[in-house]
Amino acid sequence: MAPTLYITPASPPVRSVLMAAKTIGLNLDLQQVNLFKEEHKTPKFLKMNPQHSLPTLVDDDGYVLWDSHAIMAYLVSKYATSDSLYPSDIKTRALVDQRLHFDSSVVFRTLTQILRPMIFQGKNNVDQKDIDSAHGVYSFVETFLEGREWIAGDSVTIADFSFISSLTSFNAAVKIEESKYPKLAGYLKRAECLPGYEANKEGLEAFIAIVKPLLK
């Protein structure tokens, strides 16, 4: 029986897990949850995940886990045939972990601070403060990519799936200018060639469909 993943396709964290699963050839039983109808706050869902966040994983033995970064590390550690996406070398893994924490605490957090008021509270513009915050993120990532092909080295890791899903979503609200961020722009172009990128593309289109009408 395949692990079950509760999702909403437009979500960047959901897309990161889908990219990881596709990359390792893992089939998932995808269960869509409608956030606008608050299906993630039903008693049944809250019993499973009191934080009511997506994605939420239920493995075939009943093991429940949420947070996309933790889910990716778990799935790759359990189901991948090699450790390339989440290296066992302690220093290499520590750098991957640092990048995952950076996505969680800076990249994705900044994205939600900009877009949540638009999606759920009626705000209809990206103001200068939002633009400055986005450029702060872009500058960090540009620095991280100095001398590297991927976000934690010269090979793809699960940290890339988080950054790719978050940054492509960011780009829908605050354009990433190649002239200002050539390494970041090149990184996202390389990402489009990854075998698992298709899992990001479909959800990104849904994300853009939600966000674009809100931008005036």
What order of strands is seen across the sheet that includes strand 29-32? 29-32, 4-7, 56-58, 64-66
Q: Give Dmax over CA atoms of the chain in angstroms.
A: 49
| CA–CA dist 101, 112 (Å, integer) | 15
Contacts of 184 (CB under 8 A, 6+ apart): 138, 141, 142, 145, 167, 176
Q: Is the separation of the CB atoms in 144 and 49 below 8 Å? A: no
State the virtual CA torsion across 14, 20, 26, 29 in degrees, nearest 10.
Answer: 0
> Which residue among the candidates 11, 16, 162, 165 is catalytic per the annotation?
11
CB atoms within 10 A of CB 62: 6
| CA–CA dist 193, 12 (Å, integer) | 18
| CA–CA dist 6, 96 (Å, integer) | 25
Return left, alpha or beta for 73; rule: phi > 0 is left, psi -120 to 50 is alpha, else beta.
alpha
11 is catalytic: yes
**Catalytic residue set:** 11
